Structure 1
Amino acid sequence: MAQSTKEILYIGTYSQNESKGIYVLDFDRSTLSASILQTVHDKKNPTFLALHPSQKYLYAAYREGKDADDPNGTISSYAVDRNTGQLTLINQVSSAGASPCHISVDPTGKVVFVSHYQGGNLSTFKVADSGAISEAVSVVQHEGSSIHPNQTKPHMHSMIPSLHGKWVYASDLGIDQILKYEVNPKKGSVKKDPEIFPVKAGSGPRHFVIHPDLPYAYSVEELSNTVGIYTVEPKSGDLLLLARVEMLSPEIQSDYNAAADIHLSVDGKWLYASNRGQDNLAIYQVDQETGLLKLMGHVPTGGQHPRNFKVDEKGELLLVANMESDNVVIFRIQDQTGIPAPTGKSISIPRAVFIEQLFLK
C-alpha cells in the first residue's frame, strides 16, 4: 500500500479582522478543504513566510518590532514538526529595517534574505544548523527615487536567489531597479557592490521569478501593471531586457490597479501574475525557445485584492490569497491550456496574504 501524504498549508496574514497570525492548515486534496491545526501570533502582521530547503524550518517576517523600542520588524524562525506540520519557535531577531514585506532562503539553506518596503533596505541572516538565525549580517540601504508618486524613496520588495544560490536579485519598486548581489553562504552575507539593472521609469518592479530550465526570468511591475521579460546570462547572472507585456484586461474598468505576484507553472510552460484592482490573474504561455510570453487570458481570483498566490508543487492546483475578501480561493490548473479553472472551493482566512505549502510523509 502506498504511503499516505499529509499536506500542510501555512497562511500569512495581516493582524486585522480577528486574524490569529500564521494559520497552519491540514489540507485535504481529495475534497479541497482544510482544517486549522494551529495558529501562531508571536508578533503582529506575519505577512510573508518561507520554508527552509530542508523543510525542517519556517521563517516568518513580522512587521511588528522585536520589542517596544524597535522601529523595525521581527524575523522569527520555527521548527516544523515533521509529523504534524505544527510550528515551535526557535528564535527571533530584529529584521534590521522598517516594514519587512518579503523573506526568502537561499538554495543551500545557509542564508535568509529580507526586504523592507518602508525602510528601503535589505538585510541578510546566517542560518545555524539548528535552524536559528543570526542577527543581521548584511544591511544594505538603497538610495534614490523615480517618477511615480509612490516612488519618492526606495521601496525594497523582494529578494529572489538564483537557482544555484550564487546571486540574489533584489527588486526595488521605489527606485526602478533590479540589483544583483553576490551571496557569501559561509558568512550569510551579500557583497555591497551590486550590478544594477534599471527598469522603465515608473514601472515599479515588485516580484521576480526565474525559469527553472531556460535562461529567462520575469519581473512583475506593480505600478505599470506589466511583466518584464529578461534573458539571464548563465555565467555572469546579468539580466538583459527582452520585452515588456501588459497585464490588464481591456474589458474591465477599474480606477486602481496594482500588480502583485508572479509565478511559473511547475513545468515552466505557463506564467501567472496577479492584479489588485481588476482582481484577476493574467495567464501567459511561455515560448520554450525564446522565453517570450503570449497572453492567454484573465481569470477572476474569486475575491478582492489578490496579494500572493501559490502554484501547487504537484502542478495541479493554484491557490490565491485575497486579502480584502478574507479568503484563499482554490483553482485547478488545466493541463492543455494552463488556465486555472474555478473549483468553487475556498478557505476562509482573515486578511490572507501569503501561502506556503509542505508535504509530509
Structure 2
Amino acid sequence: MDVWVGCYTSATGGNGAGISTFRRSPDGTLTPDRGLPMLSPSWLTAHPSAPVVYAANESGDGVITTVSAELEALGAVSSGGADPCHLAVSADARYLLCSNYSSGSLSVFALAEDGRITAQTDLVRHEGSGPHPERQEAAHVHQAVVRDRIVSVVDLGTDEIRSYELMDNGKLDPLAVSALPPGTGPRELHRRPGGDLAYVVGEVAGTLVVVREDQPGSFTPVTVVPATKEPWTGDTPNWVAHLEIAGERLYLSSRNPDVITEFDITAETPVAVADHPSGAWPRHFAVADGTAYVAAQHDDAIVAFPVGGGEQVRYATGTPTCVLVR
C-alpha cells in the first residue's frame, strides 16, 4: 500500500518539492519511495476505479494535474479559480469537483473512463461574508461533499453549506442553503454513516458542529462543542483543520494546540476523550489500520502514531499538507 503526500513548494512559501510517495509495510511503517516535482499540490484525491490521482495545485492561477499510478503527470487544466484547495469525484465517477478557495467558486469537470479530464462543464460562484474580518471578508469555498447526485459545498467565508443537484450534463442546480452559527468558518463536512447526522469542522471558531440532514442537502445545527478536550488558552487562535470518522470514534486536528482530539460519538453530542500530540500544525491526516498519518506542516514531517495515542514515528518530507493512503 502506498501513502501519497501533497505539499507546499517554494512558490507558495513551502519547503516541499511536489508529490512524494512512501511504501507502507504491513506493520504500518513507511519507506520513502518516489517523487514528482510540481507546484504546491496541496490536496490529492484518487479516482475510485481508474488508476489516477488528481492534485490541486494551490496558487493564484489554479491548476489541476492528473497523475498516473506510476507517478507521471498525464495532463493539467485550469481549476477555474484561484487557490484550489479540495477535489472530489462524483458518485458515478463522471465528474470532478474543484473548490477554489480565494475565488469562492466551485468548478465541475467531465471525466473520461480512464480518469482523464475532458472539459469543464460548470462553474458556480458564491457571494457574501461573515463576522470575522480577516478570514470571512468574502466567500471562500473550502470543500464539496458528494452523496449520490447531491453536492454540498462548505463555504468558510459565508458560514453556509450550499447544496446543488449535479445534473447529467455536469451542471449544478441549486438545491438548498443551510446557515451555520455566525463566525463558524466551516472547513469540512463529514456525514456519519448510517444516519442523518453530520459533523462540520469550525475552523474559525475552533469548534465541532453537529448538524442534522433533514432533507437531502439541507442541514440544521444540533449542537456545538469545543474542538479540543483541554481548553485552548494560547495567544493565537485554534485553526481547526481535518476530521476523520472511524466507527464510534471521531478524530479532529487542531493547529496551534497541535493535537488530534479523539471524540466518542456513540451519543448525539460528541464527547472529547483525549488530545493526542500530533506534530506542529496538523493540517491533514489519514487513518489506516489503526494508525494516524499526520501532515505536520510546520515540522516538515509525517507523524505516525496509533489513533488511541502512543509512540510517534516521524518521516521527513517538506511542508506536507495532505496525506492520501492508496
TM-score calculated relative to the size of structure 1: 0.85
CA shift digits 1:202-243 (9 cap, x unpaired)? 11000111112222110001011111111223x634222211
**Of residues 18, 21, 32 in structure 2, which corresponds to 1:21?**
18
Task: Output the CA distance in 2 between the equivalents of 1:251 and 1:208.
Answer: 23
Give the letter aligned to residue 124 of structure 2. Answer: V
Counterpart for residue 91 of structure 2: 107
| Structure 2 SS opposite 1:72 | coil
Counterpart for residue 120 of structure 2: 136
**Of residues 212, 220, 223 in structure 2, which corresponds to 1:243?**
223
| Structure 2 SS opposite 1:75 | strand
Counterpart for residue 154 of structure 1: 139
Whether the 8 Å contact between 1:229 and 1:244 is mirrored in structure 2 is: yes
Q: CA deviation at 1:30?
A: 2.2
Whether the 8 Å contact between 1:146 and 1:152 is mirrored in structure 2 is: yes
| Structure 2 SS opposite 1:324 | helix
The reply on whether 1:324 has 2:303 as its aligned counterpart is: no
Task: Output the CA distance in 2 between the equivalents of 1:144 and 1:227.
Answer: 22
- The structure with the largest strand share of the pair is 2
Give the letter aligned to residue 327 of structure 1. Answer: A
Q: CA deviation at 1:126?
A: 1.0
The reply on whether 1:291 has 2:268 as its aligned counterpart is: yes
Task: Output the CA distance in 1 between the equivalents of 2:20 and 2:190.
Answer: 25
Counterpart for residue 180 of structure 1: 163
Task: Output the CA distance in 2 between the equivalents of 1:72 and 1:345.
Answer: 36
TM-score calculated relative to the size of structure 2: 0.93
Matches within 5 A, 1:1-80: 7-16=1-10, 18-30=15-27, 32-36=29-33, 38-42=34-38, 44-54=39-49, 56-64=51-59, 71-80=60-69
Counterpart for residue 219 of structure 1: 200
Q: CA deviation at 1:31?
A: 6.0
Distance 1:225 1:207, change over 3 A: same
Whether the 8 Å contact between 1:111 and 1:124 is mirrored in structure 2 is: yes
The reply on whether 1:271 has 2:233 as its aligned counterpart is: no
CA-based RMSD of the aligned residues comes to: 1.7
Task: Output the CA distance in 2 between the equivalents of 1:220 and 1:238.
Answer: 17
The reply on whether 1:231 has 2:212 as its aligned counterpart is: yes
Counterpart for residue 83 of structure 1: none
Q: Report the more deviating stretch, 238-247 or 137-146.
A: 238-247
Counterpart for residue 343 of structure 1: 311
Give the letter aligned to residue 171 of structure 1. Answer: V
Whether the 8 Å contact between 1:13 and 1:350 is mirrored in structure 2 is: yes
Q: Report the more deviating stretch, 144-153 or 290-299.
A: 290-299
Whether the 8 Å contact between 1:103 and 1:114 is mirrored in structure 2 is: yes
Give the letter aligned to residue 310 of structure 1. Answer: A
Q: CA deviation at 1:253?
A: 3.0
Whether the 8 Å contact between 1:13 and 1:351 is mirrored in structure 2 is: yes
In structure 2, the gaps of 5 or more residues are none
In structure 1, the gaps of 5 or more residues are 1-6, 65-70, 81-85, 334-338
CA shift digits 1:32-82 (9 cap, x unpaired)? 13222x21123x110000011115111110024xxxxxx5311111222xx
Whether the 8 Å contact between 2:229 and 2:272 is mirrored in structure 1 is: no
Task: Output the CA distance in 2 between the equivalents of 1:349 and 1:55.
Answer: 27
